[in-house]
Amino acid sequence: MKKHLLSIDDVTADDIAEIFATAAEMHDVQRRDVKKLPALRGRTVINLFFEDSTRTRSSFEIAGKWLSADTINITGKGSSTSKGESLRDTVLTIASMGVDALVMRHSASGAALQVSQWVDASVINAGDGTHEHPSQALLDAYTLQRRLGSLEGRHVVMVGDLTHSRVFRSNVLCLTKLGARVTVVAPPTLMPSGVTEWSRAAGFETSYDVDAVLPTADAVMMLRVQKERMSGGFFPSPREYTVGYGLTRDRLALLGADVPICHPGPMNRGLEIAADAADAAQSVILDQVSAGVAVRMAILYHLLAGEGSAA
Amino acid sequence: MSEQPPSSPTPHPGDQTDAPSVAPVPGEPEGRIVLDERDIARALTRISHEILERNKGAADLVLLGIPSRGVPLAKRVAERIAAVEGVEVPVGSLDITMYRDDLRKHPARGPQHTEIPSGGIDGRTVVLVDDVLYSGRTVRAALDAMNDIGRPDVVRLAVLVDRGHRDLPIRADHVGKNLPSARTERVAVRLSELDDVEGVWIS
Amino acid sequence: MSATPTKLVVRGASLLGETTGDLLVVDGVITESGSVDSTGAEVVDADGLVALPGLVDLHTHLREPGREDAETVVTGSRAAAVGGFTAVLAMANTSPVTDTAEAAERVHDLGVAAGLVDVHPVGAVTKGLAGEELAELGLMHRSRARVRVFSDDGKCVADPRVMRRALEYVKAFGGVISQHSQDPSLAGPTSCCHEGELSGRLGLPGWPGVAEEVIVARDVMLARHTGSRVHVAHASTAGTVEVLRWAKSQGIQVTAEVTPHHLLLTTDLLAGYDPTFKVNPPLRPQEDVLALREALADGTIDAVATDHAPHARHDKEHAFVDAAFGMLGLETALPVVAQVMVESGQMSWTDVARVMSTTPAAIAGLDRQGRGLEVGSPANIVLVDPSADLTVDRDASVSLSRNNPWHGRTFGAAVRATFLRGRATVLDGALV
């Protein structure tokens, strides 16, 4: 496996299978009284979060601690518009304390890649702007695979604000890599620019019509819609969004009873996903959270435990 | 433990035990056979009796095989105990990959499956089962792993082959065959559950 | 060579790439051309070199006052001279902004003191570049700096009413507004990557070509309505070229410039999120690059201007979306244009002289520059080796900054000598 996890492009289908197998074992560790493995003892992992996130950060923190690594949380300062340190100075200062891995979240796309060129440590991208969130995609795919068996040939439908979603970008790469058929649904204003060429090249489909696509879905992934986007002129009103694209009770009925429903969280109940759908038996939203720790343990283990890892 | 994995660099005699259990390798290994199928069967039968003797029956016994080949061996012992005592002894597996003391010397390998029987190991007599005892580091790792899972009353060790050259103060309670060997020699164990032949070879 | 030789002969140059001959320079003026008697003159051997009139840059950022850590008028002048320039127009987005006569004179005087190129300050169109009230355009024109070109570059004069007033106002003294065409509602301050498949995939805020085109279209209509001149800075899209073609066919007084980087570099260089390639307007796809080349060759685009934009290292060492916009350009402009346009046969050296000297000087209203190599014109001369083998080393630059997109690239033409009114500022490829 490569030294960094910046993008799903950094892992092959075989790497993903290995991560999933390890994650399955890690899942068992979560159920024990002593939730500890010594594999990363002596390693130092810094969670460097320039953007707020309780969920992802605590998931990585727990994952590191359960592997006996020393994990430290650092909140990075805001962007460069203040006359502060350059990003490079900021990360070099931290990395030069002798760090094995930087788990980084930043509001700028590409920040993780740029940082990986400046530091010796392994860099794990915990979300860079609207670009990628590889550990989320891995835990989403892992969760779906546990529910569905193999993802090969399965039809996964993603609905939501694709333009601003790093979860979408990582997931589309991950799911197609694992052989799934992916259709993404959004209104035209929330489709990324150039998506037609991109989808053709990358092998996924696009649609504006969620009702046409849902009946053939084997799995559904609802993406968060930020209300702030409404004022950016992307969409007239929350109500119109829900009627056109939300996973309402009616649309829930269109799905087979064993079609898992995912959401990376946090949810806007009533906006992109009805409460009934979020709490339905077929919802795997909570499974995603517990999978998150296991998958992140697997990622940290494979990147840091062996020879040829950072430090 | 079986012989060194194909992926290792220049063989160092000490490496041979430190290598993790390998995936099944097709065909007969090199060298001469020291235990054939029937020898293995007899050894396992004797080991099973010894376990029962030592424990004065099957009460509170738990067998944990160390992957890969310790697992089918543990199952075979459990079958024999069931045949003799009429008791189903809980059988499971204990993967030690994450507890190895040489993690940083190899690329990170994914763990194999750990399955602790539903009754747990607290207060039990755990018999660890492995195919080859060599440096003792695997068993040390297994003891550490068990420490994080529970607190057995007693831990014993049963191995099919003891080839000597201990690096740590570890000894087996039940041994199928003592096989003095040079450090430069390789010991290969094959079992029908995982491989297409059965036996123990030395080369 | 002595400080300012009274008599200088440039011997055996290929004049504008056409005829080989000598140039006799007396007291800073070209007095003879052809076969010249060199008695009593200092001689510069120009065998195998192409002689062009000194280059004139309509668009440079010298950063002084305010960001002397990135560039000063002195270091910027050095970079210009090394690049073959004898005059540069220094943009107004300094700190403080050049929006008063005093500020303009300050930059002008710094240029005179540096003495390597003629530095002509550009005046801001609006006070503080805020886009609301006109700056003291008339007073800046009347000052020692004799400002004629005004620009809020860095920002767009977005309010159509303000742009209209500015276009009208400068008619009184033959001034021209140079517009940084970027509709702020369509391409805001975070927009940094051509809006298209790459920006979608990389998750970078898109900068659609149409944000430039709607302003260019608006401004040519305003220019027609007010009967004024307007100049389009750093044209970057095929759509802009279409608008320019139409406008010129209608007799509208519009001129346009293109940067060397927009003639050669494309948006896919952003795939690695390297802020070296972050520039405003952004690098575009190949279709736009080809349209710009064609437009430069056929005169739809009138001039090449560098938009030389030095930045201190720490201003580029940020996440891409946070990093400063801009690339160095003075030292490499001619080699780039030579490779893209002359080596490919789309333009001759005479054409290069037109787009990099004569026309920019005319647009800026400079009387001492851009007069070609005619007898009687000031001896602003650049000697170019058209068969050099130049690999760009960013650390060898005379600019204070290092944000150089050409590092490691090889070019076939190189500036060997530059003369400002008969005085050598660069000889043998290095500053004198």
Residue C59 near residue C178, CB atoms below 8 Å:
yes
- The mean pLDDT of chain C is 96
Of the listed ranges A114-128, B3-17, B143-157, the one predicted with least confidence: B3-17
At residue B147 the predicted structure's pLDDT band, cuts being 50, 70 and 90, is: very high
Residue B161 pLDDT: 97
User: What number of other Cβ atoms are within 10 A of residue A29's Cβ?
Assistant: 21
Q: Does residue C415 have a pLDDT over 50? A: yes
Residue A46 pLDDT: 96
Cβ-defined contact of B104 to A22 (cutoff 8 Å): no
The Cα–Cα gap between A43 and C85 comes to 56
Residue with tokens 């160092």: B12
C and A adjacent (3 or more CB pairs under 8 angstroms): yes
Residue A208 near residue A188, CB atoms below 8 Å:
yes
The one catalytic residue among C118, C152, C288, C307: C307
Cβ-defined contact of C202 to A166 (cutoff 8 Å): no
C199 CB neighbours in chain A (<8 A) are 193-194
Q: Does residue A82 have a pLDDT over 80? A: no
The CA-based dihedral angle spanning residues A223, A227, A231, A236, taken in that order and rounded to the nearest 10 degrees? 70
List the single residue in B99, B108, B110 with the smallest CB-CB distance to A38: B99
Tokens of B84: 């003799």
Chain length of chain C? 432
Residue C3 pLDDT: 59
The Cα–Cα gap between A158 and A172 comes to 9
At residue A76 the predicted structure's pLDDT band, cuts being 50, 70 and 90, is: confident
Residue A213 pLDDT: 96
Residue A188 pLDDT: 94
The Cα–Cα gap between A147 and A140 comes to 11
Residue C95's Cβ-count burial label (10 Å; 0-12, 13-18, 19+) is exposed
| pLDDT (tens digit per residue) in A251-290 | 999 998 999 999 998 899 989 999 999 999 999 999 999 8
Chains with 3 or more CB pairs under 8 A to chain A: B, C
Mutate to test the interface with A, among C274, C287, C321, C325 (most CBs of A within 10 A): C321
Residue A213 near residue A183, CB atoms below 8 Å:
yes
Tell whether A166 lies on the interface with C, counting CB pairs under 8 A.
yes
C321 CB neighbours in chain A (<8 A) are 108-110, 129
At residue C318 the predicted structure's pLDDT band, cuts being 50, 70 and 90, is: very high
Q: Does residue A221 have a pLDDT over 80? A: yes
At residue C14 the predicted structure's pLDDT band, cuts being 50, 70 and 90, is: very high
Three-state secondary structure call for residue C301: coil
Q: Does residue A79 have a pLDDT over 80? A: no
Sequence-ordered alpha helix ranges (H) in chain A:
13-30, 54-66, 87-95, 111-116, 134-148, 166-177, 195-202, 210-213, 227-231, 238-245, 249-254, 275-278, 285-304
Residue C1 pLDDT: 56
Cβ-defined contact of A195 to C200 (cutoff 8 Å): yes
B113 CB neighbours in chain A (<8 A) are 25
Asked whether the CA dihedral A144, A146, A149, A151 is positive or negative, the reply is: positive
- Residue in chain B closest to A42 (alpha carbons) equals B104
- Residue in chain A closest to C274 (alpha carbons) equals A114
Active site residue C307: yes
Q: Does residue A31 have a pLDDT over 60? A: yes
At residue B4 the predicted structure's pLDDT band, cuts being 50, 70 and 90, is: very low
Residue A236 pLDDT: 84
Q: Does residue A111 have a pLDDT over 90? A: yes
Tokens of C190: 């975070």
Mutate to test the interface with B, among A16, A307, A309 (most CBs of B within 10 A): A307
Residue A52 pLDDT: 84
A106 CB neighbours in chain C (<8 A) are 319
User: What number of other Cβ atoms are within 10 A of residue C60's Cβ?
Assistant: 30
- Residue in chain B closest to A17 (alpha carbons) equals B110
Tell me the average pLDDT across C89-99: 97
Tokens of A280: 């339905």
Tell whether A197 lies on the interface with C, counting CB pairs under 8 A.
yes
List the single residue in A1, A21, A306 with the smallest CB-CB distance to B104: A306
Cβ-defined contact of C273 to A88 (cutoff 8 Å): no
The Cα–Cα gap between A114 and A104 comes to 11
Q: Does residue C105 have a pLDDT over 90? A: yes
Total beta-carbon pairs less than 8 A apart between chain A and chain B: 52
- The mean pLDDT of chain A is 91
| pLDDT (tens digit per residue) in B66-86 | 999 999 999 999 999 999 999
| pLDDT (tens digit per residue) in C346-390 | 999 999 999 999 999 999 999 889 889 999 999 999 999 999 999
Residue B2 pLDDT: 45
Residue A77 pLDDT: 75
List the single residue in C203, C272, C274 with the smallest CB-CB distance to A169: C203
* Interface of chain A toward chain B, CB-CB under 8 angstroms: 1, 18, 21-22, 25, 28, 32-34, 36-39, 67, 301-309
List the single residue in B95, B103, B147 with the smallest CB-CB distance to A306: B103
Cβ-defined contact of A21 to B148 (cutoff 8 Å): no
* Residue type (1 letter), C155: K
**C208: Cβ–Cβ under 8 A, 6 or more apart, which residues?**
A193, C186, C187, C194, C195
Residue B62 near residue B92, CB atoms below 8 Å:
yes
* Interface of chain C toward chain A, CB-CB under 8 angstroms: 195-204, 206, 208, 272-275, 313-315, 317-323
Q: Does residue A61 have a pLDDT over 50? A: yes
Cβ-defined contact of C203 to A130 (cutoff 8 Å): yes
Q: Does residue A237 have a pLDDT over 70? A: yes
At residue A78 the predicted structure's pLDDT band, cuts being 50, 70 and 90, is: low
Cβ-defined contact of B108 to A309 (cutoff 8 Å): yes
List the single residue in A128, A166, A194 with the smallest CB-CB distance to C197: A194
- Residue in chain A closest to C202 (alpha carbons) equals A131
A79 CB neighbours in chain C (<8 A) are 318-319, 322
Asked whether the CA dihedral C320, C286, C342, C90 is positive or negative, the reply is: negative
* CA C190 to chain CA centroid, nearest Å: 25
A304 CB neighbours in chain B (<8 A) are 108
Residue C10 pLDDT: 96
B and A adjacent (3 or more CB pairs under 8 angstroms): yes
Q: How far is B149 from chain A (nearest CA, A)?
A: 6
Q: Strand A219-222's sheet: what is its strand order? A: A205-207, A181-185, A155-159, A219-222, A261-262
Residue with tokens 């960001």: C67
Tell whether A189 lies on the interface with C, counting CB pairs under 8 A.
no
Cβ-defined contact of B109 to A306 (cutoff 8 Å): yes
C274 CB neighbours in chain A (<8 A) are 114
- Residue in chain A closest to B110 (alpha carbons) equals A22
List the single residue in A109, A193, A197 with the smallest CB-CB distance to C320: A109
pTM: 0.89
Residue A60 pLDDT: 97
Q: Does residue A80 have a pLDDT over 50? A: no
Chain length of chain A? 311
The Cα–Cα gap between A57 and C5 comes to 71
Q: How far is A7 from chain B (nearest CA, A)?
A: 20
Cβ-defined contact of A109 to C195 (cutoff 8 Å): no
A34 CB neighbours in chain B (<8 A) are 147-149
Of the listed ranges A83-97, B175-189, C210-224, the one predicted with least confidence: A83-97
A116 CB neighbours in chain C (<8 A) are none
Asked whether the CA dihedral C143, C149, C153, C158 is positive or negative, the reply is: positive
Pairs from A210-217 (Cβ < 8 Å, separation ≥ 24):
A210/A157, A210/A159, A210/A185, A210/A244, A210/A245, A210/A251, A211/A251, A211/A254, A213/A157, A213/A183, A213/A185, A214/A157, A214/A251, A214/A254, A214/A255, A215/A254, A215/A255, A216/A155, A217/A155, A217/A156, A217/A157, A217/A183, A217/A255, A217/A259
Chains with 3 or more CB pairs under 8 A to chain C: A
Residue B17 pLDDT: 42
Q: How far is A230 from chain B (nearest CA, A)?
A: 45
The Cα–Cα gap between A129 and C200 comes to 12
Q: How far is A172 from chain B (nearest CA, A)?
A: 26
| Cis omega (within 30 of 0) for bond into A266 | yes
Mutate to test the interface with A, among C273, C314, C402 (most CBs of A within 10 A): C273
- Residue in chain C closest to A233 (alpha carbons) equals C185
| pLDDT (tens digit per residue) in C264-314 | 999 999 999 999 999 999 999 999 999 999 999 999 999 999 999 999 999
List the single residue in A28, A32, A306 with the smallest CB-CB distance to B108: A306
The Cα–Cα gap between B175 and B167 comes to 18
